[in-house]
Amino acid sequence: MESVLDILAGWLEGYIVRVIQAALVILVAYIVVKYTDKAVSLIVKAEEHEFLERFMMFFKAVIYAIAILMAISFVAAEPQVFVALLLVVGLGITIMFSDVLRNIGSELYVRNMRAFKEGDWIEVDGIQGRVARMDSLGVILETLKRERVYIPYTKISHTTVINRMSTYGLSLKLTVKIPKTYDIARARELVTSSLSSVREDLIAEPSVSLRSITESSYVFDVVIDIMNIGKVEKVCEKVVLELKSRDTGVDVEF
């Protein structure tokens, strides 16, 4: 029959082994976190310091949290029970923060696409505006009407984004509604002649196409390529004033 000392020695030996395993887990987590910065820098743009710091802070927190929980599971008296509780808690946290985790992944995806940057003029689901800011949750667009539209990264990553900036200037789309007091040819001529007032600020001839006909108006899609992005507001105001001067019933949407 084993003596009490032998049983105690066996238990102590097994416990020391678990403590060493827990220490190794913490050490591995420290090494992973320490040498991850260079790997992440190769994936994420180096200029985006704010996003990189935020991403690394979140990444380190996740690594350390997993390491601590694993270490506790090694030294716990009932590891099987602890692992079961850990799975339940982990599943609950994942469900609770699923939107946050999804948005972080979407932000990483959008920034790595590099389809646009702050200052660019973009269109998202028909909303056009200048990218005023890209924060941790989404993009803030400033429209020509001085409206500030907030679009989350989860929305941007699942829809079509049009960057209207080019090396020559800005391609801007307008929707012009002409009352049906005119025929189609006269309505189109009204739009094209009004656009001639800003021709000197455009790169090329504007594009005018009939989108649809409603009960009360003709709806035209107009695309103008503005040479100087700094004159966007001035050009648009001039177009609206010119159209309104010819017919007050004309409606223009940006």
Q: Which of 218, 133, 230, 136 is nearest to 177 (CA)?
A: 218
> What phi and psi, each to the nearest 5 degrees, are found at residue 192?
-65, -40
Where along the chain do its domains lie?
Answer: 4-96, 118-163, 170-253
Q: What is the DSSP letter of 45?
A: -
CATH code for 118-163? 2.30.30.60
Q: What is the DSSP letter of 174?
A: E
Specify the higher pLDDT residue, 46 or 223.
223
pLDDT for the residue 253: 85
The span from the CA of 79 to the CA of 200, in Å, is 76
Specify the higher pLDDT residue, 29 or 49.
29
Backbone region of residue 119 per phi and psi (left: phi > 0; alpha: psi in -120 to 50; beta: other values): left
Q: What is the pLDDT of residues 66-88, one digit of tens each?
A: 777 777 766 665 556 566 666 66
Superfamily of domain 170-253: EIF_2_alpha (3.30.70.1130)
Q: Which residues contact 168 (CB under 8 A, 6 or more apart)?
A: 203, 225, 227
Q: Which amino acid is at 90?
A: G
Among 35-39, 44-48, 232-236, the least confident range? 44-48
Highest mean pLDDT among 54-63, 84-93, 197-206: 197-206
**Residue 252 CA: distances (Å) to CA of 113, 122, 143, 226:** 33, 19, 14, 17
Q: Is 0.85 topped by the overall pTM?
A: no
Output the 3-class SS for 107-131: HHHHHHHCCCCCCCEEEECCEEEEE
What angle do the packed helices 49-75 and 4-34 form, to 10 degrees?
170
Q: Which amino acid is at 210?
A: L
Taking residue 131's Cβ as centre, other Cβ atoms within 10 Å add up to 20
Q: What is the pLDDT of residues 122-173, one digit of tens each?
A: 888 888 888 998 887 789 999 888 889 999 888 888 888 888 887 778 888 8
The CA-based angle 41-152-45, given to 5 degrees, is 15
